[in-house]
Chains A and B, each alone.
Chain A
């Protein structure tokens, strides 16, 4: 979930682009030839054997197996028993499952929408104003500060905030009492009304640094002459920001929203560390629900169904994002 975890939003298009460029290099060359001359390409397969064998063993087989389990009733002891679509039917009628996806939307709000909007604003502020008028060192220092929560494992970040929100003698409650607002002190993560909002605040805190770092790097590409021209035409800061900056760094905005949305759908560690999905199902998320079905309720077939549903959602979201990005680029070229 930290930026380092979200990995790169690596799209196939990058490979395509690289391929296209390669074939049009100076040296005329059959496109299907390897880079080492005279060598038959077939034997290069040998180098793929360990990688592909391990990939099959650790990813492909378990994935197919998991899909098979969704059609079975399996409690981990006796062999799985085929029950057809029963798990899927149960899932569609399962209140907890829909609650967990509702909470995923809350996570998307906290991990994608708020950090991206705030990140845009802060990155522009640091880059344009503070970097320019107060020096780059200060801007870099502030950027590093905003990024601090991102370097921790997500669970440790959750443990840090969990400590502050402790019910009896947590720092937040103590401070509230200290300034005479004792009646506001609360069991933040333990009561149904504040558990989810508290978790959301934590995730905003964790996530904010990632878009800031990416957007600040992207802003370096924006040509200052464009800004100066717009300034001469009388555009104010916000107009310039919307018309120029947003247009130029749109690829980064896409990638940040995609990687963060996937991370938001996958949230597990903080929920495990702080609430266990509770109280009740107030902070239940699909990843934790699947985990608890596997290892606490021992309903393996059903847990597999939840995990598969989550995978389908993530795949669908990724495809939609990439299609949208593709269409935008096409439109851009058509202009």
Chain B
């Protein structure tokens, strides 16, 4: 099984970070292990390194902290006391004004609607493709996988104008379904690649048993393959949701009217607007980062595993 497949394998879900293909044979070093056990000596040099690491972490976090404290200031407060102080009093006008200006709940709904449907459709499509490629092992599957991978690596600009023209012709321009269809295909390209390698090592005995019991392929897919691979599918579902949420170029091009826009598009196109004062702009950034921050907190383990799984061949 490829490492990628392994990482998403349900049996390994409790592993916080991926290890190599044979973790049992090698002694593992994880963050908590200490060589030799017992209390470790800390030299002054160690403390210097620690301070450097913490200072760097602080600098990376500073923009988030600045956005947080300044979103709750009035512009007057900001101008008199600067960006570094805590607000003298909580001021919600900036957030409220931006919230109403972009109709934020509607934008949130648009993003949830698009990302949610893409995630579901792309997982279904990946599963059908992977069933044929990984379990059915159709002829020429290697070439099919190559084409599918290319689809994932292309810069979207190269598809942009023809897609724009096509969707305009069929009347789906400025319609969320255009974005949903496009991303279903793009995300399922990755999903197909990954699931095909998971399915290629599917327990053969189960498939044989189901086949002997007279199950058709369609039944095998839904009653055997689907339930057993559900943990992997749910990880893909989360990835597709967040990846689609974060997309920018295609939603920007296809969703031009206010009512159809996603959260990142709505926030970005309002930057530099003359009506946006300094703390309202800060509030807009805050509203943009809160949803992804929440996803991260909920799915942290899954995401960390996925990032590393993607990188380790």
Chain A residues in the interface with B (C-beta under 8 A): 2-15, 17-19, 21-22, 27, 32-39, 41-48, 50-52, 54-55, 57-63, 65-66, 69, 122, 125-127, 129-136, 139-140, 142, 144-146, 148-149, 151-156, 159-164, 166, 169, 171, 174-175, 178, 205, 208-210, 213-214, 216-225, 228, 251-252, 255-256, 259, 262, 265-266, 268-269, 272-273, 287, 290-291, 294-295, 300, 303-304, 306-308, 310-311, 314-315, 318
- Whether A307 touches B138, Cβ cut-off 8 Å, given contacts A36-B207, A166-B278, A214-B308, is no
Task: Count contacts on B: residues with CB < 8 A to the other chain.
Answer: 136
Looking at chain A's contact residues, is the secondary structure mostly helix, strand, loop, or mixed? helix
Decide if B27 touches A225 in the complex (CB within 8 Å).
Answer: yes
Q: Can you list 17 A-B contacts (CB < 8 A)?
A: A8-B194, A18-B1, A35-B204, A36-B136, A41-B138, A41-B139, A47-B221, A51-B188, A66-B158, A129-B49, A142-B57, A160-B63, A217-B311, A223-B29, A295-B253, A303-B161, A310-B155
Indicate whether B274 reaches chain A with its CB closer than 8 angstroms: no
In whole Å, how far is A147's beta carbon from the nearest beta carbon of chain B? Answer: 8
- Whether A310 touches B185, Cβ cut-off 8 Å, given contacts A4-B243, A10-B4, A132-B34, is no
Decide if A136 touches B53 in the complex (CB within 8 Å).
Answer: no
Query: Which 7 residue pairs across A and B have the least CB separation, nearest first?
Result: A44-B136, A136-B31, A8-B310, A62-B162, A171-B83, A153-B246, A47-B132
Chain B residues, Cβ within 8 Å of A154: 246, 248
Which residue of the partner chain, among A12, A43, A130, A162, contacts B53 with CB atoms under 8 Å?
A130
Chain B residues, Cβ within 8 Å of A214: 307-308, 311-312
Chain A: CB-nearest residue to B203: A35
Decide if A252 touches B70 in the complex (CB within 8 Å).
Answer: no
Chain A residues, Cβ within 8 Å of B104: none
Chain B residues, Cβ within 8 Å of A269: 248-249, 264, 268
Decide if A152 touches B158 in the complex (CB within 8 Å).
Answer: no
In whole Å, how far is B120's beta carbon from the nearest beta carbon of chain A? Answer: 14
Chain A: CB-nearest residue to B204: A35
Q: B195-221 vs A: 1/0 string, CB under 8 Å? A: 011011110100110010000010011
Chain A: CB-nearest residue to B300: A144
Decide if B144 touches A52 in the complex (CB within 8 Å).
Answer: yes
| CA gap between A35 and B220 in the complex, in Å | 12
Which residue of the partner chain, among A8, A19, A51, A266, contacts B155 with CB atoms under 8 Å?
A266
Decide if A55 touches B151 in the complex (CB within 8 Å).
Answer: yes
Indicate whether B313 reaches chain A with its CB closer than 8 angstroms: yes
Q: B16-35 vs A: 1/0 string, CB under 8 Å? A: 01111000001111111111
Decide if A307 touches B160 in the complex (CB within 8 Å).
Answer: yes
Chain B residues, Cβ within 8 Å of A131: 31-32
Indicate whether B258 reaches chain A with its CB closer than 8 angstroms: no
Looking at chain B's contact residues, is the secondary structure mostly helix, strand, loop, or mixed? helix
Decide if A153 touches B29 in the complex (CB within 8 Å).
Answer: no
Chain B residues, Cβ within 8 Å of A3: 307, 310
In whole Å, how far is A39's beta carbon from the nearest beta carbon of chain B? Answer: 7
Chain B residues, Cβ within 8 Å of A59: 151, 154, 159, 185-186, 189
Chain B residues in the interface with A (C-beta under 8 A): 1-5, 17-20, 26-35, 40-42, 46, 49-50, 53-54, 56-57, 60-61, 63-64, 66-67, 70, 78-79, 82-84, 125-126, 128-129, 131-139, 142, 144-149, 151-164, 166, 181-182, 184-186, 188-190, 192-194, 196-197, 199-202, 204, 207-208, 211, 217, 220-221, 239, 242-243, 245-249, 252-253, 264, 267-268, 271, 278, 281-282, 284-285, 288-289, 292-293, 295-296, 300, 303-304, 306-313
In whole Å, how far is B313's beta carbon from the nearest beta carbon of chain A? Answer: 5
| CA gap between A266 and B131 in the complex, in Å | 32
Decide if B313 touches A14 in the complex (CB within 8 Å).
Answer: yes
| CA gap between A204 and B141 in the complex, in Å | 39
In whole Å, how far is B42's beta carbon from the nearest beta carbon of chain A? Answer: 5
In whole Å, how far is A291's beta carbon from the nearest beta carbon of chain B? Answer: 7
Decide if B248 touches A153 in the complex (CB within 8 Å).
Answer: yes
- Whether A47 touches B131, Cβ cut-off 8 Å, given contacts A39-B217, A272-B252, is yes
- Whether A175 touches B26, Cβ cut-off 8 Å, given contacts A51-B125, A54-B125, is no
In whole Å, how far is B30's beta carbon from the nearest beta carbon of chain A? Answer: 6
Decide if B296 touches A163 in the complex (CB within 8 Å).
Answer: no
Chain B: CB-nearest residue to A48: B132
Decide if A304 touches B184 in the complex (CB within 8 Å).
Answer: no
| CA gap between A217 and B281 in the complex, in Å | 37
